Amino acid sequence: MALPSPAASLSLGRFPSLPEDRPLLSEFLLAAPMLLFALVAHEVAHGWTALRQGDDTAFKLGRITLNPLPHIDPVMTILLPAVLWFMTNGQFTFGGARPVPVVTRNFRHYVRGDLIVSSAGVVTNLILAAGCTLLFVLAGVFHAASGDLGTQGIITTQRMLNWGIYLNLLLAFFNLIPIPPLDGSRLFYHVLPPKWGTSYRSMDRFGFLPLMVLLFFFRPLLDLLLAPAWWLYARLLDLAVPFAAGPGWNIFG
């Protein structure tokens, strides 16, 4: 039976209120492309590593591509994030892409293959967060070297890259939460005794219900689980901000 990959393309964010002088629509237009690319890259990573481990299901379905169209779910990728963003004045959004199908029995080595494929999306998003940080720095270096050429364009670019850092970190650490069907549950499964692991994975039948309960009724616990994302975000900003072209880089300021 073809199983979906861990529902790895989930991302959420609960943001401080956006500045009054920054319209919601313009901020959404900066954040949305970064979120979409983060989701697509996450899924491609699952499909590509599954192919390397012996499962060509995603490859045959044309899902190992950075073209976003095969990965977009009209409701989860477009409608839901936009509606939540505008309904909450930019303080909360949640969304996902179509999970890449993975047939784990095709792996040459089941446990190793499952661990590699399940962790691939998280690793990819961490790499993208680091890449956005590097591009932020390079944009600032170019700005300084060119005699402050195109200041407003550089500031907008750095603000967009800041969204990229933030959203990729949230996506990575949210998916490490060990609740089925997130990536973390696939990793945690392999440290459990076989009987416990079977019962644990049976939680998949509840779909996203356990996640909804966590999101809406256990926010302090969620904040604790995402604390590493906030910490790493602050550390990457420590590296990037000295190269900012102006104060507009701050998505929360």
> In angstroms, rounded to a whole number, what is the distance separating the alpha carbons of residues 162 and 34?
9
43 noted as active-site residue: yes
Range of lowest pLDDT (48-57, 84-93, 106-115, 232-241): 84-93
CA–CA gap between residue 128 and residue 122 (Å, rounded): 10
Q: How confident is the model at residue 198 (pLDDT cuts 50, 70, 90)?
A: confident
Q: What is the pTM of this model?
A: 0.88
Is 127 strand, coil or helix?
Answer: helix
Give the separation between CA 45 and CA 3, rounded to whole angstroms: 16
Q: State which amino acid sits at residue 3.
A: L
Structure tokens at 189: 């499964």
In percent, the amount of the chain with pLDDT more than 70 equals 90
Q: Within 10 A of 103 (CB to CB), how many other CB atoms are there?
A: 15
Structure token pair of residue 38: 């983060």
What pLDDT is recorded for position 216? 76
The number of folded domains in the chain is 1
| pLDDT 10s digits, 131-166 | 999 999 999 999 999 998 889 999 999 999 999 999
On the 0-12 / 13-18 / 19+ scale of CB atoms within 10 A, 113 is buried
Mean pLDDT score across all residues of the chain: 85
Say if residue 186's pLDDT is above 90.
no
The catalytic position among 43, 55, 114, 183 is 43
Domain that holds residue 188: 3-249
Q: Which helix (H) or strand (E) holds 191?
A: none
pLDDT tens digit sequence for 20-69: 555 788 888 999 999 999 999 999 999 999 999 999 999 999 999 999 99
> Contact, 83 vs 61, CB < 8 A?
no
Q: What angle do CA 132, 133, 139 make, to 5 degrees?
A: 85
As a whole number of angstroms, the distance between CA 189 and CA 187 comes to 5
The Cα 78–Cα 137 span in angstroms is 30
